[in-house]
Amino acid sequence: MGVQGLFTFVEKHPRIYRDVRFRMSRLVIDGANLIHLLYFDSGLDQNHGGEYAAFEELIERFITALRDCGISPFVVLDGGSDYTDKKLETMMQRAVDRIKKAHRAAVEDSKKNVLPQLAKLMFRQTLARLEVPMAQCYAEADQEIAALANEWQCPVLSNDSDFYIFDLPGFLPISHFQWEAVEQSGSQSYIPCKKYNTSSFCIFFNLERQLLPTFAALAGNDYVKLQKMERPIDWTQFCPAGDGIPSHLEGLLCWLRDFHQPEKALEAALGLMRELSKKKKAEVLQGLYLGMQEYKLPSSALKRFFVHGAAPPFPTFEGVKGLVPDWTRLPLTQARLTSDILDVLLLQRNNLSLPVDHGDMPSINLTSTAAAPGDRVAGQLTLESLDQAESSQRLQVLLDALGVTEASLSRLPPQLRLPVAVTCYWLQRAQPCPDQSLLKVLLLGLSNGDALRQRAALQMQNERCKQKLSVSVGHAFNQWQACLKDGVYLNQLLGRPLEEPQIARLYEGTLVHDLVHRIRTGKLKQLLKYDRSRVKQYKSMLAIIHQFHSQKASTPASDNQETVTPPRRRRLPLGDLTANLQQLFLLCDDDEEAEMEVSSGVRAQEELHLGDLVSVKTRYRAKERNNRSKNPELARKEECRGDPVRW
């Protein structure tokens, strides 16, 4: 997790770096670090649930820049939490800090560097689509990244300060990696950047190289919190006099100059802790040695995976053996299976999503944790042999968990089946119950995809304004994303019985928030031209959701089957939508056709009462047949044009 303050400290001494023209090389990339820095440094919106399409395009440009310079990227991702729990205190404190940041971001509508929920999933999907070699570790990735780079004799790309300590062929800080400014030298392209070597650091501070891990351990690690002890060592006392503001890292480096071996330095450091008991000193010494071990480089466990596609063996630590099924190793390493499963199996807990949300609101994760697969099929399967189960069984477990049927999804294209099933689940479980405008906006985004995003982005750019974040709308969409993420992860565990949806095509935060505001204030403008295929897709999704709610309302729970009792169904509030309906349609160029569609839409607003779908449809269709018999020309035009979309 890095040496606190070391990155900033090194930045104050730029002579440690060397300017290089990086090209024609392998590059081991710290994936977790890259995700955060790319998203946060790009200026993309963080508070409305993520700008995934724009983030996807950014990742594509990054990979293209590398390949244009003959650079072969190998991305390594973090896995589960450390099974020894030695970093639990640090993780808990960082989770508390993220919750506070997320609350402040929601209240102030300001950027606090809170990563959107689906950004990591979308990052992995994009790399897979671009065929970028990628590996997910079983635990934290730093040591594996360093080991692989050491065996391949290539640099590491990251901003994690741990890589200032590992003895590597080279470390390229992302902050100085100018991938957006590719330059030419003759016929060769290169990326201007700065390179760090431990030898340069040690020469600059007159330090023996073997003392770097000792420096990191004494500066503070996840085993021993020296700075939090009752009487921590004041390293600033060893800073040269008159050398500006004293730094504890510089003071520690000055103190270490007198030593040549780590053991002697550690003994002397314990001597500075005179108030500690003998037993406590032994504990501190053990923690310091364990911290130093983190920087020893083993043989790479990922080299064989990248070359031959073979997953590394799972660690055989005490208490771990046999808890993780062998068949999961390869999909875990390929990042086709979320590493959350490791935390559940090894630690019986899971790290929950912490998006931008008001601290007084209930956790969004309560929505997605209310489901349980029915005993009918799930009870017949075991995790150890889940990969051998029939595909129909695995599909049924997923459908049971989401509360939908295979037949209800059959009319949809494969890529929309899981998102629509999740939306049905979300409408049933979300609290408070989402209103109709939220549902319409979600389905509009699902059905219209890129074209809608492009026109909306242009329109919002021209208007040069952004609506203030609505906490209630954000909370509802956060619940939907939590349901989608967990639905995708369950689908992965079950071997993808439904096609995994591409996140970048499903949701665009600033767009959906803007559309909700426009619907509610009657200011929605036309974003798309009429598209029969998209209209048909929208209507199919809406009909499925109507049917789902009708069945939930009319089907009693079985007496002999234990079920999860859903919250009481409430009719979605509609308000006076008549005026807005005239703006909601995807108008065609023909004014007469547009007028007819608007008229049909106003008549069809009754259909938005989900519980009354069947009776409303019957009445509407009878009325429509009557109108056609009285007006043959109208019937002819409707047949040529196709059914109008009814929101």
For the stretch 336-381, pLDDT in tens is 999 999 999 999 998 898 999 999 999 999 998 868 555 567 778 8
Residue 233 lies in a domain: no
* CATH number of the domain bearing residue 83: 3.40.50.1010
In this predicted structure, what is the pLDDT of residue 317? 73
Checking 260-263 for CB contacts under 8 A at 24+ apart, the result is 260/208, 260/211, 261/210, 262/210, 262/211, 262/213, 262/214, 262/292
- Name residue, tokens 């204030």: 521
User: What separation in angstroms does the CA of 12 have from each of 5, 17, 250, 369, 388?
Assistant: 11, 11, 11, 47, 56
Residue 303 lies in a domain: no
Of the candidates 207, 232, 262, which is a domain's last residue? 207
- Give the model's confidence band at 610: pLDDT under 50 very low, under 70 low, under 90 confident, else very high: very low
Q: Which amino acid is at 367?
A: T
Nearest to 531 by CA among 457, 635, 641, 636: 641
DSSP 323: S
- Give the model's confidence band at 321: pLDDT under 50 very low, under 70 low, under 90 confident, else very high: confident
Residue 475 has pLDDT above 60, yes or no: yes
Residue 332 lies in a domain: no
In this predicted structure, what is the pLDDT of residue 564? 39
- Residue 74, classed as helix, strand or coil, is strand
**Number of folded domains in the chain?**
2
Residue 640 lies in a domain: no
Q: Range with the lowest mean pLDDT among 26-30, 219-223, 546-550, 555-559?
A: 555-559
For the chain, the average pLDDT equals 82
Return the number of other C-beta atoms located less than 10 Å from residue 182's C-beta. Answer: 16
Residue 290 lies in a domain: no
- Give the model's confidence band at 170: pLDDT under 50 very low, under 70 low, under 90 confident, else very high: very high
Nearest to 54 by CA among 134, 148, 119: 119
CB of 222 within 8 A of CB of 286?
Answer: no
Of the candidates 576, 597, 618, which is a domain's last residue? 576
Distance CA 616, CA 549 (A): 14
In this predicted structure, what is the pLDDT of residue 489? 96
Of the candidates 576, 599, 621, which is a domain's last residue? 576
Residue 527 has pLDDT above 90, yes or no: no
pTM: 0.84
The percent of residues above 90 in pLDDT, for the chain, comes to 58
Residue 579 has pLDDT above 60, yes or no: no
Residue 411 lies in a domain: yes
pLDDT digits (tens, 9 = 90+) for 407-424: 999 989 999 999 999 999
Range of the domain at 157: 6-207
Residue 40 lies in a domain: yes
In this predicted structure, what is the pLDDT of residue 586? 33
Distance CA 211, CA 618 (A): 81
Distance CA 471, CA 474 (A): 5
Residue 236 lies in a domain: no
- Name residue, tokens 């002579």: 15
In this predicted structure, what is the pLDDT of residue 287? 87
- Chain centroid to Cα 506, Å, comes to 14
- Give the model's confidence band at 227: pLDDT under 50 very low, under 70 low, under 90 confident, else very high: low
What value does the mean pLDDT take over residues 60-83?
A: 96
In this predicted structure, what is the pLDDT of residue 563? 39
In this predicted structure, what is the pLDDT of residue 514? 84
Residue 645 has pLDDT above 80, yes or no: no
In this predicted structure, what is the pLDDT of residue 626? 54
